[in-house]
Amino acid sequence: MIQNLAKIKHKDSPNFFLIAGPCAIENEDTPRRIAEKVLKLTDELNIPYIFKGSFRKANRSRIDSFSGIGDEKALKIIQQIGEEFDLPTTTDIHEPFHAEMAAAYVDVLQIPAFLVRQTDLVVAAAKTGKHVTLKKGQFLSPESMKFPVEKVTDSGNPNVAIIERGTMLGYGDLVVDYRGIPVMQKYAPVILDITHSLQQPNQASGVTGGKPELIETIAKAGIAVGADGIFIETHPDPAHAKSDGANMLQLDLLEDLLKKLVRVREAIL
Q: Does 185 bind its own copies (CB under 8 A)?
A: no
Pairing status of strand 173-175 against strand 167-169: antiparallel
Among positions 19, 20, 34, 140, the unique one binding its own copies when judged by CB under 8 A: 140
Q: Based on CB atoms, which residue is closest to its own copies, 12 or 213?
A: 213
Among positions 45, 69, 101, 224, the unique one binding its own copies when judged by CB under 8 A: 224
Among positions 72, 172, 237, 252, the unique one binding its own copies when judged by CB under 8 A: 172
Site residues (CB under 8 A) for its own copies, limited to 17-76? 58-63, 67
Applying CB under 8 A, the span of 17-25, 157-165, 228-236, 259-267 interacting with its own copies comes to 259-267
Q: How far is the CB of 7 from its own copies (least distance, A)?
A: 30
HEC letters along the chain: CHHHCCCCCCCCCCCCEEEEECCECCCCHHHHHHHHHHHHHHHHHCCCEEEECECCCCCCCCCCCCCCCCHHHHHHHHHHHHHHHCCCEEEECCCHHHHHHHHCCCCEEEECHHHCCCHHHHHHHHHCCCEEEEECCCCCCCHHHHHHHHHHHCCCCCCEEEEECCEEECCCEEECCCCHHHHHHCCCCEEEECCHHHEECCCCCCCCEECHHHHHHHHHHHHHCCCCEEEEEEECCHHHCCCCCCCCEEHHHHHHHHHHHHHHHHHHC
Among positions 3, 14, 119, 129, the unique one binding its own copies when judged by CB under 8 A: 119
Q: Does 200 bind its own copies (CB under 8 A)?
A: no
Q: How far is the CB of 214 from its own copies (least distance, A)?
A: 5
Give which of 5, 9, 83 is closest to 45, Cα–Cα: 9
Q: How far is the CB of 74 from its own copies (least distance, A)?
A: 15
Q: Based on CB atoms, which residue is closest to its own copies, 89 or 199?
A: 199
Q: Does 206 bind its own copies (CB under 8 A)?
A: yes
Applying CB under 8 A, the span of 17-25, 41-49, 156-164, 223-231 interacting with its own copies comes to 223-231
Q: Residues interacting with its own copies, by CB under 8 A? A: 58-63, 67, 94-96, 114-115, 117-120, 123, 137-141, 143-144, 146-147, 150-151, 154-155, 167-173, 175-179, 181-182, 198, 201-202, 204, 206, 211, 214, 217-218, 220-226, 260, 263-264, 266-268
